[in-house]
Structure 1
Amino acid sequence: MSPTAAPTLRVERSLLRAGHGLVAGVDEVGRGALAGPVSVGVLVVGPHTPAAPRGLRDSKLLTPAAREALVPALRDWAAAWAVGHAEPAEIDALGITAALRLAGRRALAQLAEPPAAVLLDGSHDWLSDPPGQALPGLGEPVLPCAAPPVTTRVKADTTCAAVAGASVLAKTARDALMARRHEEHPHYGWAANKGYGAPEHLAAVAEHGRCSQHRLSWRLPAAALPPAPRGARAADTLQPPVGPGPGRGARGA
């Protein structure tokens, strides 16, 4: 399938024919941001779900206006849907992979009926607990639900309609959160850059420092750091690339 072809329900329907009553497409956004939450969208389809709404694509292939226009149609089309978030402090405490899992569990916990199977974008199952590594409760009254069986598929966000829909729901929900948080911290430009490492965001961090919405455990590039004192050696100011620190288990987003 070409990158611009419309995603279909072919894979989802094969899982439904295998005996799964409901199948959830799952995708994440915000993995590579420097500030704000990581967000996971879930869109559930069933045996009687019709073809996807016209114009559906992976969220990265759509303009912001096109994503927003699709949201009402996606909500009407899906058998169920939800978006979950993990906040910057949770990313710092757990690492990015476990924070993704937490956000995904929060989304699944919102569904009235859990899906029998999950179709997850990518080649790595970050939604299921590794053996002996269940998520901590983090002070929540009820630990988010366990994940149903997961099928991973590379480029599912471009080929599988439920996953593409989940990506649009997650992206629009996270963008709206960052626009609201921009009002509290306007100098970082989050209304435009959504917490990613855009030049104006890095310049604002260098000038104003980081805030509670930044992932404090993540390294920042030299461009986002205050100027070095006069006479400092270059080696004193060099920083690793943007991204999580050692042991965080992140992949590029």
Structure 2
Amino acid sequence: MPIDATLIPELRLAARTGARFVAGVDEVGRGALAGPVSVGVTVLDLEHPEIADADDGVWPVLAGVRDSKQLTARARTRWAPTVRESAAAYSVQHRAAHRIDEIGLSGALREAGLAGLHDSESRLGLRIDAVIVDGSHDWLTGGRSARVTAMAKADTLALSVAAASVLAKVERDQLMEEFAATHPDYGWESNRGYGSAAHREALALHGPTSLHRLSWNLITQASESSTESR
């Protein structure tokens, strides 16, 4: 059963390191065939009065926020403005398909994530004390920064990361809907650029667009999928 994310990971990190401003970082679109990879950053001020009093790790204003995959599209859209209003700072950065082709997926994720941290610090006017990234390893800096903590399932456990995932997902979905209006054959308004059967069939029939990740050998994948579906 899905659970709400809490402040417990952030508060434990603060108790260990003395951090006040903690950023949660999460990515969306890693496995898509088309469209950007998007990285969300949400910064929480752990000295905010309501957070400082949250002994159980529940911040009432964001109680109910979960990993974006555990929320409906309507719920994500409803939560996004509240996350923006409640965060000390936030940012969502996108790296287009052609950039993924140029520097690879890992490079694009790192570039977007670091840009998101820089943008958030500019909005905050201060250096972020600690960063939590979702995953079993530090994909953001490759282990080169002591302030970055990698946490498996952070998107389901840590409120800052879950909130970042919501912002990234909402923005990326909106982009894919806009792209779908100019490329109606691929069903991006529903598959968001991921490799659904209909998307792969459209690739086999129409070929890739400039919004596809051309380095991913899409034509071969689509042809194989089309053959298998017959």
* TM-score of the aligned structures, taking structure 1 as reference length: 0.78
Alignment of 1:1-253 (within 5 A): 3-17=1-15, 18-49=17-48, 50=51, 51=59, 53-111=62-120, 112=122, 113-129=126-142, 149-220=147-218, 224-225=222-223
Letter in 2 for 1:73: T
Does the aligned pair in 2 maintain the 1:84–1:105 contact within 8 Å? no
1:178 is paired with a residue whose SS is helix
Q: 1:225 deviation in Å?
A: 2.6
- Provide Cα deviations, 1:111-137, integer angstroms capped at 9, x if missing partner: 223311110111021100577xxxxxx
Does the aligned pair in 1 maintain the 2:186–2:198 contact within 8 Å? yes
For 1:59 and 1:221, locate their aligned partners in 2 and report how far apart those are by CA, in whole Å: 30
Does the aligned pair in 1 maintain the 2:204–2:219 contact within 8 Å? no
For 2:45 and 2:84, locate their aligned partners in 1 and report how far apart those are by CA, in whole Å: 14
Q: 1:98 deviation in Å?
A: 1.0
Q: 1:110 deviation in Å?
A: 1.4
2:216 is paired with a residue whose SS is coil
Does the aligned pair in 1 maintain the 2:201–2:225 contact within 8 Å? no
Structure 1 stretch 14-23 or stretch 66-75: which is displaced more? 14-23
Structure 1 stretch 38-47 or stretch 10-19: which is displaced more? 10-19
For 1:123 and 1:154, locate their aligned partners in 2 and report how far apart those are by CA, in whole Å: 5
Does the aligned pair in 2 maintain the 1:41–1:166 contact within 8 Å? yes
- Provide Cα deviations, 1:141-191, integer angstroms capped at 9, x if missing partner: xxxxxx772101111111111100001011001101111111111111111
For 1:163 and 1:66, locate their aligned partners in 2 and report how far apart those are by CA, in whole Å: 17
Q: 1:224 deviation in Å?
A: 1.6
1:35 is paired with a residue whose SS is coil
Letter in 2 for 1:40: V
**RMSD value, Cα:** 2.2
For 1:216 and 1:223, locate their aligned partners in 2 and report how far apart those are by CA, in whole Å: 11
For 1:116 and 1:78, locate their aligned partners in 2 and report how far apart those are by CA, in whole Å: 15
Change (3 A) 1:148 1:77: farther
Letter in 2 for 1:119: I
- Provide Cα deviations, 1:65-101, integer angstroms capped at 9, x if missing partner: 0100001111111111110111111111111111100
Does the aligned pair in 1 maintain the 2:24–2:164 contact within 8 Å? yes
Does the aligned pair in 2 maintain the 1:42–1:83 contact within 8 Å? yes
1:85 is paired with a residue whose SS is strand
4+ runs deviating over 4 angstroms: none
- Provide Cα deviations, 1:193-232, integer angstroms capped at 9, x if missing partner: 110001111111111100110000003375623999xxxx
For 1:121 and 1:48, locate their aligned partners in 2 and report how far apart those are by CA, in whole Å: 23
1:210 is paired with a residue whose SS is coil
For 2:212 and 2:186, locate their aligned partners in 1 and report how far apart those are by CA, in whole Å: 11
2:92 is paired with a residue whose SS is strand
- Provide Cα deviations, 1:23-46, integer angstroms capped at 9, x if missing partner: 100000000000000000000011
| Identical pairs, percent | 47
Change (3 A) 1:170 1:227: closer
- Richer in helix (by share): 2
1:28 is paired with a residue whose SS is strand
Letter in 1 for 2:43: V
For 2:168 and 2:176, locate their aligned partners in 1 and report how far apart those are by CA, in whole Å: 12
